Copies of this chain bind each other. A is one copy, B any other.
Amino acid sequence: MRPTGVGIGEVARRTGLSVHTLRLYERVGIFAGPVQRDAAGRRVYSEWDIAWLGNCVLFRASGMPLAALAELARLVSEGPGNEADRLDLLRAHRQRVREQMTQLTDCLMLIDAKVAGYEKHLAAGAGGDPWQPNRP
């Protein structure tokens, strides 16, 4: 773990985000505290920044809006004293994630049923349409 700083291109490659998106994220305040710059003004991301970003990517993928991420970043950057608020944010998001998971599960069951229907249908060669049992 050398105390390296990493350029934006490298971070983009590592996280799968575009450099544009990284700059956008910074503008909307997703980093906890300002990203460091080198002498020429180029961004230098710390390993901590990158780890945080990794969490952000997960949170985003689970539907957390940028604004919420920014709020969390603000809380963290303010340092100790607001842990309860962070906890609230996390718990609220956890709730939403759980709801999503049950929806995804439902959807998966539906798809599985339809897929099974079509597979049987195709294997058996024709027959009525499995999706529209009784349409004009």
Contact = CB atoms under 8 A, between A and B. Distances in A.
Interface of A: 32-33, 48, 55, 58-59, 61-62, 76, 79-80, 83-84, 86-87, 90-91, 93-94, 97-98, 100-101, 103-108, 110-112, 114-115, 118-119, 121-122, 126, 129-132, 134-135
Per DSSP, are chain A's interface residues mostly helix, strand or loop, or mixed? helix
Contact of A90 (B55, B58, B59, B111): B111
Contacts of A55: 110
Contact of A112 (B86, B94, B134): B94
Nearest to A86: B118
A79 B131 CA distance: 10
Nearest to A130: B83
A108 to B, nearest CB: 5
A1 to B, nearest CB: 11
Contact of A76 (B83, B97, B101, B131): B131
